[in-house]
Amino acid sequence: MSLTERIKHKAYDLGFDLIGIAPAGRATRADAYARWVEAGRAGEMAYMTRDPQRRQNVRNIQPEARSVIVLGLSHYTIDLPDEIKHDPSRGLIARYAWGLDYHDVMTPRVRDLLQFIRAEAVRDVQARIYVDTGPVLERDIAEQAGLGFTGKNTCLIHPRMGSWIFLGEIIVDLDLDYDRPITKVGCGTCTRCLVACPTDAFVAPYVLDSRRCIAYLTIELKESIPRELREPMGNRIFGCDECQDVCPWPQRFARPTSESAFYPADLDRAAPKLLDLIGITAEQFRERFKGTPILRAKRSGLLRNVAVALGNWGDEAAVPSLIGALNDSEPLARGHAAWALGQMRTPDVCRALEARLQIETDTTVKEEINLALM
């Protein structure tokens, strides 16, 4: 077997579902990325806008690069029962965060593959590895490596697996056999993802405005969620899968992964009860979500998201817990708890808001309380 064939066999032995190889060079969507950044659609994701020229060509990262090995691992596990998925008293978590953090699962295997490549090449291969962590346009490279096509929802879609796929890359200074991009299939006239987006985050097919995306709002955004986007969030507290849930490709072709680390320990991991989260302490947060992507939102971000979900639920059963959240140490939690209480406005709610207003010191929280009392 050629070196390329041996690398691919090893990748499958390591548990990867997909592998493809693209030539190292300028990304085909480099100009589209530049326009996206210039339009401000990255929001507060500074890592996406820092030194944009570097992301446009892997040789700006590794000048001697010749090939990019792209690896895919499915994280499709189960579908939530309808009675759980449509229960507004529960918070919805994006599928990719139901199990353990994919960085921790994939990165050791990518390193193992690189070690194998160096041994097989019988020389000191210059290389870099990334698992959604480096300054590369990885979906663009994955498309060039034949791992799928880019859908109108901006996700990479494999024709026989769908879009529930994690990606990793190895940039090497080796000339390998390149795979061809998939060109015979695509989205066609389908616009289900564009129509289904709760916050109208797609400004056009293949163009996502991150500032309106629920995944961005609940994970990347560190400040207050814009008021006009809170109600459309529904009960989503970490990420959003809507544009993939409605897509025909994963609906037809996604199959459960064999990777046990991505399965939820129980349904409460995928859709926890909101009232179990609103009063969570810092220690409880770290313990409950240890080893999962949810730590990325931090406690303050998760409580903010949970408060919005409780406000959208609108059940008076949430009032005592939200009143308790008015005294949380985090202004972000207090402000969004005030907004949530403002969706109910019982006499007890108004008294609690007025009492908190008398002692509140944070300007943003004061504004939220005043608006809730209007």
Q: At what angle do helices 298-313 and 331-342 cross, to 10 degrees?
A: 0
Number of C-beta neighbours around residue 350 at 10 A: 15
Which residues are CB-contacts of 360 (< 8 A; sequence separation ≥ 6)?
Answer: 334, 366, 369
CA–CA separation, 116 and 122 (whole Å) = 10
Do residues 126 and 271 make contact, with C-beta atoms less than 8 angstroms apart?
no
CA–CA separation, 286 and 316 (whole Å) = 29
Catalytic status, residue 132: yes
Do residues 63 and 90 make contact, with C-beta atoms less than 8 angstroms apart?
no
Exactly one of 132, 173, 245, 348 is catalytic; name it: 132
CA–CA separation, 272 and 92 (whole Å) = 7
Q: What are phi and psi of 299, to 5 degrees?
A: -60, -45
Q: What are phi and psi of 61, to 5 degrees?
A: -95, -45
CA–CA separation, 302 and 95 (whole Å) = 16
Buried b (16+ CB within 10 A) or exposed e, 143-168: bbbbbbbbbbbbbbbbeebbbbbbbb
Q: Which residues are catalytic?
A: 132
